[in-house]
Structure 1
Amino acid sequence: MMNDTMNGTSATVGQRQQRTDMRTRDLVNQAVASIPTLGLQRAAEFLASMNVPAEIAVRTLVYPHRRRIA
């Protein structure tokens, strides 16, 4: 099987590394929870204002099936 190097460690392709950035996780969870009341644009603005990388914000807000759980 092929290996990828991510953050200085190797992981087998198809496996996800354990999340280490709990702050970003919490911010994303807050934004996702706010979508029904505030809308997608406001959730995206919140993540941008909290300096969540755009790649993560787009992946989690626009493609919810790509989100990691926990």
Structure 2
Amino acid sequence: MMMNDTAELSPVSAAAADAERIRRQRTDSHTRDLINQAVASIPTLGLQRAAEFLATMNVPAEVAVRVLVYPNRRRAN
């Protein structure tokens, strides 16, 4: 039987984990699609062009840097 990830945490830690999960929930599918396009274009157009595309499309700089420079920090879906 598998336990819920938050079952072993203290109530404070469980609440923090739940808050983090909610914060990370994606609500902007348009930005997600733009980011996916930019990331997919990196092999052919390069990182700079992908960054320029995101800037032109008004993706927040903080988000663009996170997804382009730190790909392991991208959110799933």
Q: TM-score range by the shorter chain?
A: 0.7 to 0.9
Number of residue-to-residue matches in the alignment: 63
2:72 alignment partner, one of 56, 65, 68? 65
List runs of 5+ in structure 1 lacking aligned partners.
Answer: 5-10
1:4-35 Cα offsets, whole Å, 9 max, x none, are 6xxxxxx534x353210000000000000000
Report the aligned-residue RMSD.
1.6
Q: Which stretches of structure 1, 4 residues or longer, exceed 6 Å deviation after superposition? A: none
1:35 alignment partner, one of 33, 42, 54? 42
The structure where helix makes up a greater share of residues is 2
Alpha-carbon separation, structure 2, partners of 1:12 and 1:68: 15
> Percentage identity across aligned positions?
71
TM-score where L is the length of structure 1: 0.80
The structure where strand makes up a greater share of residues is 1
Q: Which one has more relative contact order, counting CA pairs under 8 Å at least 6 apart?
A: 2
TM-score where L is the length of structure 2: 0.73
Amino acid at match of 2:56: S
Q: How does 1:43-62 map to 2 (within 5 A)?
A: 43-62=50-69
